[in-house]
Structure formats: structure tokens, C-alpha cells
Structure 1
């Protein structure tokens, strides 16, 4: 079970214990939860309900997807371009440098090869076909953000990793040399050597862990990537918090804001945004072009697969919020302020990419998973 990772030890653990979030045994959210975020009367969905969900939680056929490799050969005219590759995986081109966020090429957001959330369809481009990357940024250690097979493949390269404190223990355990790993605490910045790229960790309101015994043993963060002219905010996973005002004041303004909108539930309102709270977070951050992430790839909650983006589109005021909703694999420059096209509604097949259906595991399989993983999974 190598994919479960390794807990922080030694100097890493001592650094974690020095954080204000450490309660003597683990990290915890200390910023007050805003009123109304979490419905205390809403029952949490069971893992069995989650794993045995209906067909509405996956697309009926493959989503439209582009091959971005030809566009990547040309520099972005504005200096800033984003290519959404699925879920929270985005290739950012910032003032001549390339950053890959939360790379997940694996088939499942799970430690198991035959059990757990399966991706709707393959990533639009293979991991080997990416252009040269200057930094990989990982927000936290959940399976849909930190993927064992992807990290093992990236271990063969020389790309540096910038992540939250403690996550480096997993990376080292999977073959990433310590010299390639930089672990940050909130408000700490790192200038990637040989580049004009600065990466800063910032607060988020979430949790961590890859099994029942390592809950909140590593830090979770939002991340800001800044070049000479452009700044990008990436939420990772988080609930709504007024700390976004401090992030705006200390690290903004932002040209592009990437916020999670999927995998929400009334009982999870303190640890996930969902569409409505993503718009509230966007306002607190001071605006900038908003690109939703954390949707359209895995069924990680019990809502319909397209509910996050449909709700976001219905709730956003087009006169107040500039939305960027590119197709999978479609490179897009935020400065273009393009009109939103609901491409996910078209129902057209994306080349020969096969759609995948969720598994319907037996009850004992669901029980096996629930006995080894934290819930919710992300």
C-alpha cells in the first residue's frame, strides 16, 4: 500500500509542531467557521451511498476535449495562459514560466486500483507530452490532489516541487529527491531557482490525510504563483473564510483566480466552497478572472456531475464576474475575457476518448474502503 504515503518525521514533524494550528496531536483549523456554512442538521452521506450513486453523477458520454500541444508551442500573447487538464490539474504559463498544479493522471482518486472514484475520461494529453515544467505545486495530500502514479512518473524528471509542510514526506517516500522539494507554511514564499517565479502558501480551511491514522498530520494550503507581471491564486480545497481578505491585501491583486466549485454538500460547508461560496470567496479576493476547478473529472460527492458549473453559471452576475470556462485541454488567456460557452452541454464525443462509468461495488467493498480512509475523501 505504497500509495498511502509516509507520515512526517524528524525535522518535518518538529516544524509542524511549531505551527499555531498544532493542538498537541494534529493540525486543526483555528479560524472561526462563518455562520451558516455548515448545516448541522444535514446528515452526512454514507460512503456506501457515495460509492453506489446513480448515473447522474457521471457524464452520459465523454466531454469535449482539446489537444493543447500545438498551442503550447507558441508563447501566450498576454504572458498568462491556463490549460485546465481536469479536476484541479492546470498547466499555468506565467511570464515565461510553467507551473503544474495538483497533477493527477491516475485512473482513481483512491489508493486502490479497483475501488474508489474513477475519472470520467483520460486526461487530454499524456504526462510525457507536457512541455518542460518549471515547478509542480501541490496544495495538500488528498488523493484527488496528490496522486501516487503521477508522482512516481514525475520522479524520473528533474522538476522541483513546492508544497505544504509535511507533504514532502510522501514525495520522498515515492522517489522525489529531497533537494527537489520545498515545503511551505502559510505566508511563506519561495523563489524557484533559475526562474522569475515566486510561489507563496496561504491559508485555507480544510483537512488532510490519506488514511485513518494520519488525519491532519500535514498542512493544507492555498497557493499564489507570481511572475514578473502576473499573479494567479489557486484555492486548493477550502471552505469560505474571511482570511481571503488578508490574502488579497498581502498577495493580490490577481489576474486569475482558480477556485474549487465541486464536491460540495451542506454538511461539508466548512471545508468545501461550492459554487455560491466560490463567488463569495472571489469577491473577498478582490476579483480577477475566475476559473472554476475541482469539477468535471471525479464523482466525489452525491450531487450531479454538472451541478457545480451549472449553479456557478446561474449565480454569477456577468456584469460583475468574469468567468473563464475553457474546455478540457483548451489553453486560454484570461485577458481575452471570452464569452462563456456551455460546452459541457453539447453531448458531442471527444474524438475516441472512452467514457468511464462509476463502479457499483458490493457493500463489503464499500465497508473495506470506509475502514481505511477518512471521509469525506477530499
Structure 2
């Protein structure tokens, strides 16, 4: 077999490895060396940087929330690393997560009032609205990480292959964290779909580095809208942060409003609870359905991710109809039990008389006739 040429580190490892296992390990290291820099994304420059600098959200070189926030809060006497390693939480399901393949949607004659939601896992969700298809924060990779070798790994497979998605009219990205913006998935969608990518300010620099043509990148600031395929899509405020490497907040984060002629959808992206939800509800609501982030919360970062009870409060602020939870079940990103987010959400929704649907990954929710909540996750938790 031909000798593998690599870095000094790889050559040192190669002297200790023999056969197929060694070559496989070297190939993996070569992959990391080649693709990790690209996965980190691009940097703002030129016209993109000039536009960012004009944003009300941008000052002193970075984007900011409207209210002061901290990504981490120190809690006296608490050791997060020790809790991560030795904590007693049940952070993974004990049985396979049940997956469904979405059946065919309504006939074309029935799409005028169509509104369905297909949750693929984590935040990756398909909105079927008035005959149009909008995909949110798609990630089909095995890990949400710049590396295929390390980082949080999926707890269930995608219910469908990315090449099995229907033709899309728009792809929305809420922010540039790895569990919402994935290079391999973007490249697959670039090759297999023709839809534009709608992203917050600055995120286009990542797409540009990954080969997405300029005509397929639409960058929006908060309160800016874009019309595509008869839909009005608006970037709205969120309370979060951004960053794919050491530099933080070089790109904006957002929530999204997707409005057709008759139906409206709100998606939180990642966000803490804040007064902006009531403002969005007053300006763009009421919403037929809200897609609410419920997982990956902790008291150590209370202002940038919502607790499940806050997701219900935000849904009410938004004047939402049906609540569908997202951002749970697929990746292990916090210290709570795997099923805790949806258990708490279900209890709070019942207490506040909020309509709720909790689909299995791949299950189509017809918003006007949602399935009853059946606690399916409890059998695998």
C-alpha cells in the first residue's frame, strides 16, 4: 500500500500503527486537518462588514442583544465539569427514539390553507405552508461540531435522508452555532436544492466560504423582510449569541416569522426569555403555530436559552395557537435529563391551557388537527 503523507503528528502516530486500523485513523486525522478550518466559516469583510456596522444591533465590533446578557453565570459551590462527568442525570434515552417517515402532503388543490409541521429532530423542521416548503436550521451530520471525530453526537438518526427532502422554497438559519448551521448539510442542500438561504447579518460569510453563490444568500437584520414564493419571511429579535471559533458575536442571531396569505408561523431560534416576544406577537401575531426552543437550558446560562416554562410564557406573549417544541431529543447539550424539557413543557402547557403537539421525529403535524399528546418519549427515557 502507498505510504500516507501527513503532518509530523500523523507520521509519529503512523510509526505506531499498522494495517487498516492505522490507515483509517490517519485518514480521519487528514479529514480533520482539511475540513475543520473550512467548517469554522468565514469572516466579515467588504460590503458585508460595512452593512453589519450599520445595524442598530452592532457596536464596538460585535453584535449585541437589546438587554445586557451573560452567556455564563457563576454559581458558588457548583462545578459544572464535575457534574458533567459524575452527575446522576439520565442524559440519554435508554431505548431507540421512535422515528417516522412523513407521509405525502395534501393534494395541490388543498394547499390554500395548508399548514403542517415536520420535525426532523433538534431544531431541524420543515414548514409546509400554503403549498410552499421552508426548512429551518437543518443539520443532518452525525455530530454538531467542526469535526466529524469529536463533539456532541446524534442520539437518533435523521428520519429521512437529506436527499429525500421535497423541493424547498427557502432555507432559514437562526444563527451560526454548530447545532444550527452545519457545513456538510449546507453543501448537500446546495447541490440538491435551488432554494435561497435566508440568514441573519454576517452569516452569509460562512455560506460564501462554503461555496453558496451570492444570489442564494439573503442576509437580514431584525425587522427586515424578504418575499419568496408568495411568502413574507421576517427576521425578528432573539436573545442569544453567536460564534464558531474563539471570536464571539461576529454575526447576528434571530428568530423568524413565516407568513403566507392566510397562515403564520413563528420560530424562536435559540433565545432566552425576553420582552421582545410580546412585541413580536403584537406586530406579527397571532400565530397559527409557534416552534419553541425548550432544551439545552441550565441555571448557569439563564438568559440565552429558555426553560420549558418560559417557552410556554413566550408562546402566550406571541399570541400563539398550537405550540410545537423543538431543540430537544437529538443532541446532548446540557446537564438535564433527556426527557426533562418535554415533561416540564407538558405540565406547564396543561396548567396554562396551551394547545400542544409533541411529534416523534419525522411525524407530520397538521396544525388544524394536531395529534393528542401521548407521552411517547417516556417509554424510551
* Superposed pair shares fold, TM > 0.5: yes
| TM-score of the aligned structures, taking structure 2 as reference length | 0.84
* Residue aligned with 1:316, SS: helix
- The structure 2 residue matched to 1:177, chosen from 195, 207, 213, is 213
Using the TM superposition, give the Cα deviation of residue 337 of structure 1 relative to its aligned residue in structure 2, in angstroms: 4.0
How far apart are the structure 2 equivalents of 1:141 and 1:43? 32
How far apart are the structure 2 equivalents of 1:217 and 1:81? 34
Indicate whether 1:304 and 2:298 are aligned: no
Indicate whether 1:13 and 2:46 are aligned: no
* Residue aligned with 2:207, SS: helix
1:23 alignment partner in structure 2: 59
Using the TM superposition, give the Cα deviation of residue 249 of structure 1 relative to its aligned residue in structure 2, in angstroms: 1.3
Tell me which of the two structures has the higher relative contact order, counting C-alpha pairs closer than 8 angstroms and 6 or more residues apart.
1
Indicate whether 1:208 and 2:242 are aligned: yes
Using the TM superposition, give the Cα deviation of residue 55 of structure 1 relative to its aligned residue in structure 2, in angstroms: 7.3
How far apart are the structure 1 equivalents of 2:162 and 2:259? 24
How far apart are the structure 2 equivalents of 1:43 and 1:25? 35
1:64-108 per-residue CA deviation (whole Å, 9 max, x = no partner) reads 11111x323756775100000000011110011000000000111
Query: Cα–Cα, structure 1 residues 56 and 6, in superposed 2: closer, same or farther, change >3 Å?
Result: same
1:338 alignment partner in structure 2: 371
The structure in which a higher percent of residues are helix is: 2
- The structure 2 residue matched to 1:291, chosen from 324, 329, 337, is 324
Indicate whether 1:269 and 2:298 are aligned: no
* Residue aligned with 1:317, SS: helix
1:197-227 per-residue CA deviation (whole Å, 9 max, x = no partner) reads 1110000000000011x20000000001111
Point out the more displaced range, 242-251 or 338-347.
Answer: 338-347
How far apart are the structure 2 equivalents of 1:296 and 1:42? 29
Q: Is the 8 A contact 2:287 2:320 kept in 1?
A: yes
- The structure 1 residue matched to 2:269, chosen from 236, 240, 248, is 236
How far apart are the structure 2 equivalents of 1:47 and 1:177? 42
1:95-134 per-residue CA deviation (whole Å, 9 max, x = no partner) reads 1100000000011111111111001011000000011111
- The structure 2 residue matched to 1:63, chosen from 97, 107, 128, is 97
- The structure 1 residue matched to 2:115, chosen from 51, 75, 80, is 80
Using the TM superposition, give the Cα deviation of residue 43 of structure 1 relative to its aligned residue in structure 2, in angstroms: 6.8
Using the TM superposition, give the Cα deviation of residue 316 of structure 1 relative to its aligned residue in structure 2, in angstroms: 1.7
1:372 alignment partner in structure 2: none
- The structure 2 residue matched to 1:154, chosen from 165, 170, 189, is 189
- The structure 2 residue matched to 1:253, chosen from 254, 268, 286, is 286
1:78-117, aligned counterparts within 5 Å? 78-117=113-152
Unpaired stretches in structure 1, ≥5 consecutive residues? 349-378
How far apart are the structure 2 equivalents of 1:151 and 1:133? 13
Q: Is the 8 A contact 2:144 2:153 kept in 1?
A: yes
- The structure 1 residue matched to 2:155, chosen from 104, 120, 123, is 120
* Residue aligned with 2:292, SS: strand
1:352 alignment partner in structure 2: none
Query: Cα–Cα, structure 1 residues 9 and 45, in superposed 2: closer, same or farther, change >3 Å?
Result: farther
Query: Cα–Cα, structure 1 residues 45 and 205, in superposed 2: closer, same or farther, change >3 Å?
Result: farther
Q: Is the 8 A contact 2:123 2:137 kept in 1?
A: yes
Point out the more displaced range, 288-297 or 333-342.
Answer: 333-342
Q: Is the 8 A contact 1:71 1:331 kept in 2?
A: no
* Residue aligned with 2:63, SS: coil
Larger radius of gyration: 2
How far apart are the structure 1 equivalents of 2:134 and 2:203? 18
1:155-204 per-residue CA deviation (whole Å, 9 max, x = no partner) reads 21322111101101101111111100100000000001xx1111100000
Q: Is the 8 A contact 1:33 1:241 kept in 2?
A: no
Query: Cα–Cα, structure 1 residues 65 and 179, in superposed 2: closer, same or farther, change >3 Å?
Result: same
* Residue aligned with 2:312, SS: helix
Using the TM superposition, give the Cα deviation of residue 50 of structure 1 relative to its aligned residue in structure 2, in angstroms: 4.1
